[in-house]
Chain A
Amino acid sequence: MLAFLVQRISQALLVMFVISVIAFAIQDGLGDPLQEMVGMSVSDEEREAIREELGLNDPFLVQYFRFAGNALQGDLGSSYFYGEPTLDVILEHLPATLELVIGASLIIVVFSVPIGVYAAIRPQAWLSKFFMGVSTVGISIPVFLTAIVLIQLFSIGVVVDWFPSDTGWGRWLNDLLTTEGGLPSYGRGDELTPLFGTWETGFLSSDGLAHLILPSVSLASIMLPLFIRLIRAEMMEVLQSDYIRYARAKGLSAGRINFLHALKNTMLPVITVGGVQIGIMVAYTILTETVFQWPGVGLMFLEAITRSDIPLIVAYLMVVGLIFVITNTVVDLVYGLVNPTVKLTGKKA
């Protein structure tokens, strides 16, 4: 166990080192940070003076070693735009992103498990076919399109008058398709509850929850179909296995077989995939956060790129790299707990 952790930590350090070198190497291609810092009519001399002050004129290696030296002491530099240490800026924005990911994960768990299991048990039912059809569509719609449609339907609202309103059925159809709107379409709202440090949560107020709905649903919309299909496929496979047939022969109730014995083994691969997907979801938040003006790290990163805020870009990439390594490590540990026959690498058999 200890050897395993040591191995993972050294991997994490390697990953972060490689990321920092790459991020530093591409900084020339990211543009000139001064463009965002000074007005158009500032003279070249003034610009040169600021550049010198920021150390932007130094050779690549000098800049990198200065950065690496500070980084070893836990200082990842200061953002040009925010004027604060990059880690502080990221920590300020991280809670918003984590809450969005938590909201989306809850939606995924709550919907994917029952739907996946149902579709596996009753593959021929029309409802199963409906879910499978919808999930194919869902998986192929880009997240920003989902988000825009959701905003139009549930924030702005649509009035449908395609059907004759002088007939009963026409009115009924019009009413059915007309939406009220009213859900917040941007930001996290005003009523955030401070938890600890920079973490303010939206989960404890109705206003905060209302702001979470649309972004979480959009973010969940990419992963949910994937999980439904995964659970369904795994479950169907498990249902064919010998021990399930034996349990049936033994006369155990269908509920006990499906939800206790079969589901447990179905979840094994789902956990592995799920862990990796949560990491990927952090990356998907860039799109979702942009559309919903969600003040998280994704939006912050995108804006840092348009501003060529190089220290912030480098720090963000390193932090995301770290998150990936951590989630993978946790997934491996959990997997070992769920299925003791799996050996962790580095652990003696």
Chain B
Amino acid sequence: MKKLLTAVVGSMALASAPLAVSAEANKELKMAFDSDPVTLDIHEQLSGGIMQLSHMTFDPLLRWTKDLGFEPRLAESWERIDDKTMRFKLREGVKFHSGNELTSADVKFTFDRLKQSQDYKAIFKPFSSINIIDDYTFELVTSEPYPLLLNTATYIFPMDSEFYSGKTEDGKDKSAIVKHGNSYASEHLSGTGPYVVTERQQGVRVEFERFDDYWDTESPGNVGKIVLTPIKENNTRVSALLSGGVDFIAPVPPTDLKRIKRDDNANLVTMSGTRIILFHMNQDRVEAFKNPKVREAITYAINQEGIAAKIMKGFATPAAQMSPAGYQGHNESLEPRFDVAKAQQLMKEAGYEDGFTITMMAPNNRYVNDDKIAQAVAAMLARINIKVDLKTLPKAQYWPEYDNRAADMMMIGWHADTEDSANFYEFLTFCPDEDTGAGQYNAGNYCNPEIDALVDKANVETDLDKRAAMLKEVEQRLYDDAAFVPLHWQDLAWASRKGVQIEPILNVMNFPYLGDLVVE
């Protein structure tokens, strides 16, 4: 299960606060994240910031719970009609911020818009149509049996079709999704969520106020006003919390974990995350990487536990596969295999005892301590006589290099948008195919059609136990093949002032459910 660690230091310092019995939302919360939402149009970009905004101002049909189960939100219930169809019953009497009432037509509008969105259309590709039965009943239909139907439905945040339809004064279509430049939807918002955006200055602050007619009257949340300030600089964000300038910050950099734990007025929450950090070994560029023994030697040479403990300061979970615990494909039996003697032995067997020279690239501002991790990996490879010529780049320059497969070993971190194992394989280990877009980030050019076929089979298997068994097998075979070099799953951390009860509303997806936040 998820490693959940809550550090509550000096709880005796907590003053005997009056019991908050009334659910009246009158508290103010100041929070600082590392960025603010780039737009108010939740279909313009699929990113962490936009997902956080979506959960504050909209509500999904259903949402993930802490243990990766589902919880009904705007959909009251759902049932499978057949292999390809799921019928949803919508909650009645839900109001949008504009005052309009939520019906199936809004869901259809949203579904159609998602199919148009450049960022979402790939995720919604398996869906063929939506059938409206009545005002509060609709069916989602997929073209093949699709086991991830519910996972994907967590991305459907019904939008106010009346509000987003029609023309603006200067004749632009209100529903248009525009990537750059301003559109109606990027500046106006009407959702069903707990908060209304009252003021927004891009890059400076966003203010939210609680929606008076919010449907979820059972929510314990008592925050009436939220002020979000983006603070990119780690040190400044932590200082803002410690000086009492803000009540809630995310993320907390690993170097400051101790500092926050030591502070009597602060509360730290960390979780093992779901983003895998790994290296690809490019078989097109390096002949030796075609030899499974060499690849295996490299995985034996790298000390995942050491990196997690020393460089990540315990702020990472060492990995031997891509699927984190809780995912269907997570294979418990796979352990990091660090054994330098064995690695040297394998190199000898492969005929590369004297080693060779390779190039390596990693970003230096994308993942936590990415450049230091790359340096450590380079040093570890030196012990099996692989000389590494390492180059680290800022992310803006790194990704074009990544697309060009510009080095023999390249680092990537991946989080599955579907919260499902198959997403990892499709993007990172599938045989690269430009036409279908498979293996888009497979910078190793590793290709094993048998494994791909197995994943494809799992993707139409709606019996979840059978499917899990298949995905676990995929994970095992990738491991045996040493298809890539797994390093760790990056942990997540948040911190708040004492009295702001963030622990119950946090989850591994990093979408804090702020509507339910209780402040003492």
Confirm or deny: A156 has a beta carbon within 8 angstroms of a beta carbon on chain B: yes
A173-208 CB contact bits vs B (8 Å, 1 = yes)?
A: 000000001111111000000000000000000000
Confirm or deny: A340 has a beta carbon within 8 angstroms of a beta carbon on chain B: no
Given contacts A182-B243, A186-B240, whether A293 and B180 have CB atoms under 8 Å apart is no
In whole angstroms, what is the CA distance A256 to B466 when docked? 96
Query: Is the pair B242, A41 in contact by a Cβ cutoff of 8 Å?
Result: no
In whole angstroms, what is the CA distance A75 to B125 when docked? 40
Confirm or deny: A292 has a beta carbon within 8 angstroms of a beta carbon on chain B: yes
The stretch that binds B, out of A15-23, A79-87, A111-119, is A79-87
CB distance from B35 to the nearest CB of A (A): 9
In whole angstroms, what is the CA distance A230 to B242 when docked? 39
Confirm or deny: A291 has a beta carbon within 8 angstroms of a beta carbon on chain B: yes
Closest A residue to B366 by CB, please name it.
Answer: A35
A22-41 CB contact bits vs B (8 Å, 1 = yes)?
A: 00000001111101111111
Given contacts A44-B434, A293-B233, whether A31 and B118 have CB atoms under 8 Å apart is no
Confirm or deny: A272 has a beta carbon within 8 angstroms of a beta carbon on chain B: no
Query: Is the pair A36, B229 in contact by a Cβ cutoff of 8 Å?
Result: no
Query: Is the pair B441, A40 in contact by a Cβ cutoff of 8 Å?
Result: yes
Q: Which of B181, B229, B240 contacts A83 (CB 8 A)?
A: B181
Closest B residue to A82 by CB, please name it.
Answer: B202
Cross-chain pairs A/B with CB under 8 angstroms, 12 sampled: A31-B396, A37-B179, A41-B46, A78-B180, A83-B39, A84-B182, A148-B239, A185-B245, A290-B232, A300-B203, A306-B396, A307-B396
Contacts of A42 in B (CB 8 A): 46, 118-119, 122
Query: Is the pair B119, A39 in contact by a Cβ cutoff of 8 Å?
Result: yes
In whole angstroms, what is the CA distance A295 to B427 when docked? 38
Query: Is the pair A43, B245 in contact by a Cβ cutoff of 8 Å?
Result: no
Confirm or deny: A223 has a beta carbon within 8 angstroms of a beta carbon on chain B: no
B173-204 CB contact bits vs A (8 Å, 1 = yes)?
A: 00000111110001000000000000001111
CB distance from B392 to the nearest CB of A (A): 14
Confirm or deny: B397 has a beta carbon within 8 angstroms of a beta carbon on chain A: yes
CB distance from B171 to the nearest CB of A (A): 18
CB distance from B394 to the nearest CB of A (A): 7
Given contacts A80-B180, A303-B203, whether A41 and B417 have CB atoms under 8 Å apart is yes
Taking beta carbons and an 8 Å cutoff, which residues of A are in contact with B? 29-33, 35-46, 49-50, 53-54, 78, 80-84, 148, 151-152, 155-157, 181-187, 290-293, 295, 299-300, 303, 305-308
From A33, A187, A306, A308, residue with most partner B Cβ within 10 Å: A187
Q: Which of A32, A54, A183, A290 contacts B180 (CB 8 A)?
A: A54
Q: Which of A38, A156, A306 contacts B179 (CB 8 A)?
A: A38
- Listed from nearest, the 6 A-B pairs whose CB atoms lie closest are A31-B396, A39-B46, A155-B243, A31-B397, A308-B396, A295-B204
Contacts of B403 in A (CB 8 A): 44
Contacts of A183 in B (CB 8 A): 243
Contacts of B38 in A (CB 8 A): 81
Closest A residue to B418 by CB, please name it.
Answer: A41
Q: Which of B202, B399, B440 contacts A31 (CB 8 A)?
A: B399
Given contacts A31-B397, A53-B179, A187-B204, 19 further A-B contacts (CB under 8 A): A35-B395, A35-B400, A37-B179, A38-B118, A38-B119, A41-B417, A49-B118, A50-B179, A78-B180, A80-B180, A83-B181, A182-B244, A185-B243, A293-B232, A300-B203, A303-B232, A306-B365, A306-B394, A308-B396
Taking beta carbons and an 8 Å cutoff, which residues of B are in contact with A? 32, 38-39, 45-47, 118-119, 121-123, 178-182, 186, 201-205, 229-233, 235-236, 239-240, 242-245, 365, 394-400, 403, 414, 417, 427, 434, 437, 440-441
Q: Which of B179, B231, B239 contacts A151 (CB 8 A)?
A: B239
Query: Is the pair A290, B47 in contact by a Cβ cutoff of 8 Å?
Result: no
Query: Is the pair B396, A43 in contact by a Cβ cutoff of 8 Å?
Result: no
Contacts of A38 in B (CB 8 A): 45, 118-119, 179
Query: Is the pair A30, B229 in contact by a Cβ cutoff of 8 Å?
Result: no
In whole angstroms, what is the CA distance A308 to B121 when docked? 25
Query: Is the pair B242, A156 in contact by a Cβ cutoff of 8 Å?
Result: yes
Contacts of A308 in B (CB 8 A): 396
Query: Is the pair B396, A32 in contact by a Cβ cutoff of 8 Å?
Result: yes
Contacts of B396 in A (CB 8 A): 30-33, 35-36, 305-308
Query: Is the pair A156, B229 in contact by a Cβ cutoff of 8 Å?
Result: no
CB distance from B304 to the nearest CB of A (A): 23
In whole angstroms, what is the CA distance A300 to B204 when docked? 10
In whole angstroms, what is the CA distance A184 to B47 when docked? 30
Contacts of A45 in B (CB 8 A): 437
In whole angstroms, what is the CA distance A152 to B120 when docked? 44
CB distance from A44 to the nearest CB of B (A): 7
Query: Is the pair A291, B180 in contact by a Cβ cutoff of 8 Å?
Result: no
Given contacts A35-B395, A38-B119, A185-B245, whether A43 and B239 have CB atoms under 8 Å apart is no
Query: Is the pair B239, A185 in contact by a Cβ cutoff of 8 Å?
Result: yes
Query: Is the pair A41, B239 in contact by a Cβ cutoff of 8 Å?
Result: no
Contacts of A83 in B (CB 8 A): 39, 178, 180-182, 186
Chain B residues touching A, majority SS:
loop
Query: Is the pair A30, B397 in contact by a Cβ cutoff of 8 Å?
Result: yes
Contacts of B186 in A (CB 8 A): 83
In whole angstroms, what is the CA distance A50 to B181 when docked? 12
In whole angstroms, what is the CA distance A46 to B118 when docked? 7
Closest A residue to B240 by CB, please name it.
Answer: A186
Closest B residue to A81 by CB, please name it.
Answer: B38
Given contacts A151-B243, A185-B243, whether A291 and B46 have CB atoms under 8 Å apart is no
Contacts of B397 in A (CB 8 A): 29-31
Query: Is the pair A43, B437 in contact by a Cβ cutoff of 8 Å?
Result: yes
Query: Is the pair A155, B239 in contact by a Cβ cutoff of 8 Å?
Result: yes
Closest A residue to B39 by CB, please name it.
Answer: A83
In whole angstroms, what is the CA distance A300 to B181 when docked? 18
Contacts of B181 in A (CB 8 A): 78, 83
Given contacts A37-B180, A81-B38, A186-B245, whether A43 and B395 have CB atoms under 8 Å apart is no
Contacts of B202 in A (CB 8 A): 81-82
Closest A residue to B227 by CB, please name it.
Answer: A190
Query: Is the pair B400, A32 in contact by a Cβ cutoff of 8 Å?
Result: yes
Contacts of A43 in B (CB 8 A): 122, 437, 440
Contacts of B47 in A (CB 8 A): 39
In whole angstroms, what is the CA distance A181 to B181 when docked? 42
Contacts of B45 in A (CB 8 A): 37-39
Q: Which of B39, B239, B395 contacts A186 (CB 8 A)?
A: B239
CB distance from B267 to the nearest CB of A (A): 16
In whole angstroms, what is the CA distance A337 to B378 when docked? 63
CB distance from B133 to the nearest CB of A (A): 32
From A32, A39, A50, A305, residue with most partner B Cβ within 10 Å: A39
Query: Is the pair A186, B236 in contact by a Cβ cutoff of 8 Å?
Result: yes
From B32, B231, B240, B243, residue with most partner A Cβ within 10 Å: B243
Q: Which of B233, B243, B441 contacts A156 (CB 8 A)?
A: B243
Query: Is the pair B233, A31 in contact by a Cβ cutoff of 8 Å?
Result: no
Query: Is the pair A185, B236 in contact by a Cβ cutoff of 8 Å?
Result: yes
In whole angstroms, what is the CA distance A32 to B39 when docked? 20
Contacts of B244 in A (CB 8 A): 182
Contacts of A30 in B (CB 8 A): 396-397
